[in-house]
Structure 1
Amino acid sequence: MDCITLVAEDGADLDVLVWEPAGAPRGIVQIVPGMCEYAARYDGFAGALVEHGWFVIAAEHRGQGPRAAAEGRLGQLPDRGYHQLLDDMSTAYDHVRGELPGVPWVLVGHSMGSFLARTMAARRGREMAALVLLGTGGSLGPVGGAGAAVADVETVLLGEDHPSALMNRLAFGPFNAAFMPARTEFDWLSRDTRAVDDYVADPLCGYVCSTGFYRELLRVMRVANSVEVMRAIPPRLPVGIFSGAADPVGGAGRGVRQVARRMRANGVRSVDLVLYPGARHEILHEVNRRQVESEIIAWIDSAVQSAVQGARATDAGAGAS
């Protein structure tokens, strides 16, 4: 694992982690981390992908990771909010694409990253070979609207960079309810107690974010679940959705099934859904993480192979005509 620093669209430094395979890469897998964590937490999954020949990258989100901690900006977002995070994702991919032109691009987003990944697929899905969503969720409906109103008011009254204990309680407080009595505030993340304890002890995880961060989180969740975004995802783009059946972010499977149904209803032809019984939010840090990694990578390999073969058949047909 190496870290390169790129110049972002707004001139800021953008840290991108890179994992390179030994031989010629079969394609690029771009990982989009979740909220209140950082890219290096995907080292195990990235290593497994590299063993299968994939070139892996993960851009550090603004307000997350070592640079944000060193600058005192943990939990804060830039002025353009989630739009800037999308631009950072594009900056990271475009840089690598320049070095590896013509290879397939797979986008993998976890939790908040899954909402960003869906939105990116609406923007640039025609360039992708596959989209993978981990720990995603459906529409929050009126609850999301109420939360957004609270975040907006707090942003006006307290400022965008003010840590919001209230939004933190509203957003994550209920998540442990299904796992009582709970050892920690983060039992909802995984059944693996060591993984949970590592998260709790990590100063780069689990902090209280700013009012502006929560506002942008709710905005990108709403946008990602909108009909407009669903319809803008290319119909031929294969989508793999993997989630814990006990994940509260996915409504214990209900919200995840909603996402799959709505994608299919809005034209996405190939949507595969896998729910792991008993698993919670961070399936890459669950007790069955090796099974999860293996099945996600097998899905990626198969989906990309089918997509590449389909593109070749289309090109051959066009040439014959």
Structure 2
Amino acid sequence: MLHEVSFLSYNKRDQVQGWIYVPACKPKGIVQLIHGFGEHSRRYLHMIAHLTEAGYIVAADDHVGHGKTAMINNTWGDWGNAGPHTMMEDEHTLKTIVQEKYPNLPYFLFGHSMGSFITRDFMATYGDELTGATICGTTGIFRGAKEVAAKIKEAIDAGKGKESDSQFTVDLMGWMCERIPDAKLGNEWICADPYVQQDHASDPFDAFTKPTMNQALYDFTQMMQCIEGTEWANKVPVDLPIYNIGGDQDPVGEYGKGIYEVTNWLVQTGHKVQTKVYSGYRHEIHNYADIKNEVEQGIIDFMDQILR
């Protein structure tokens, strides 16, 4: 069964577009899937199918400024003016909608890349409503984010918040192919598979190659700063099970360093975290043909263990 849902964003402007995928069996829990920067939720159809086959309802939406939500509202790269918690609050609204339809089921989050930042923000704000959470392709201290944020803030203060200066995006993320000297598309850091790269670059629902407004990019940097250090980790319920996964060739996670940085913040504040780093793999570990089934099964095993 598939439900299509629409709801008013936290930014009070956009109608967020979402989907609830229901398996043809008695569900054992719900997984809310939170996609990353510049992409959309249907890039996870393989994972969604695997999760539903395992007996989980899967809920997902396209963030403001992204995917079908951007298409419906004509707001590509524009996240509104409600600040860096906008997407997190939208995910909480989706969770409320899902639980109205399917109450009294264990509730998990899975977030990749920016989706992991949103998940971590959610964990710190509404973590007591969750059964567990998986963060994938996450960041520790994102290289240069504070310095770029200061530059963007100057442009916003000068009245250029709704403009798009591509140099800010280059400054923030242009270094991410530094270990890939033959990069041509500019997105090779996501996955070594050229078919995944081309699919990502050609996808009409992807916002990655479309301009991002200065205000949105600034909110992105602030989103990352909201989830730094033990100050963030202390806000996460200490009894919330967490699974932290990624690739050691992922620049977002500083090639493994940032992944462990996040785990260490959590461990230092009394949390129990399962951490798995896949050696030799880039950002989208769930899009490598040789390991995606293993990655997805690991997420399912993590949740199944909690439910036993």
TM-score normalised to the size of structure 1? 0.90
Task: Name the aligned partner's letter for residue 238 of structure 1.
Answer: P
Letter matched to residue 233 of structure 2? M
1:1-321 matches, within 5 Å, as: 1-9=2-10, 10=12, 12-140=14-142, 143-157=144-158, 159-205=160-206, 206-207=208-209, 208-268=211-271, 270-287=272-289, 288-302=291-305, 304-305=306-307
State how far apart, in whole Å, the 1-side matches of 2:162 and 2:13 are: 20
Alpha-carbon shift at residue 277 of structure 1 (Å):
1.1
Structure number with higher helix proportion: 1
Residue identity in the other structure for 1:186? N
Q: 1-side partners of 2:16 and 2:68: how far apart?
A: 12
Contact map agreement 2:142 2:252 (CA 8 A) in 1: no
Task: Select between 46-55 and 276-285 the one with higher mean Cα deviation.
Answer: 276-285
Q: 1:90 to 1:113 in 2, by over 3 A?
A: same
* Amino acid corresponding to residue 189 of structure 2 in structure 1: W
Whose Rg is larger?
1
Identity, % of aligned positions: 26
Tell me, yes or no, if the aligned pair for 1:17 and 1:39 is still in contact at 8 Å: no
Partners in 2 of 1:41 and 1:97 — Cα distance? Answer: 24
CA distance in 2, matches of 1:93, 1:282: 25
Cα distance per residue 1:123-170 (max 9 Å; x no partner): 1111111110010010237x3221110111122335222122011101
Partner SS, residue 63 of structure 2: coil
Shift of 1:5: 1.5
Instruction: Report the Cα distance in structure 2 between the residues aligned to 1:285 and 1:160, rounded to whole angstroms.
Output: 34
Q: 1:181-218 CA deviation, whole Å, 9 max, x = no partner? A: 12421110001110110011113322231111111111
Alignment: residue pair count:
303
Deviates more, 1:259-268 or 1:80-89: 80-89
Structure 2 alignment gaps of length 5 or more: none
Paired residue type of 2:183? A
1:44-101 Cα deviation digits (max 9, x unpaired):
1011000011000012211101231354311111110322212211110011111222
Consecutive unaligned residues of structure 1, counting only runs of 5 or more, are 307-321
SS of alignment partner, residue 141 of structure 2: coil
Whole-angstrom distance in 2 between the partners of 1:283 and 1:158: 39
- 1:37·1:65 contact (CA, 8 Å) conserved in 2? yes
What is the alpha-carbon root mean square deviation over aligned residues?
Answer: 1.6
1: CA distance, partners of 2:137 / 2:268: 21
Task: Report the alpha carbon displacement of residue 259 of structure 1 after superposing the two structures with TM.
Answer: 0.5
In structure 1, what is the Cα distance between the partners aligned to 2:169 and 2:274?
A: 32
Paired residues of 1:280 and 1:286 also in contact (CA < 8 A):
no
TM-score by length of structure 2 reads 0.93
Question: How far apart are the structure 1 equivalents of 2:217 and 2:22?
Answer: 34
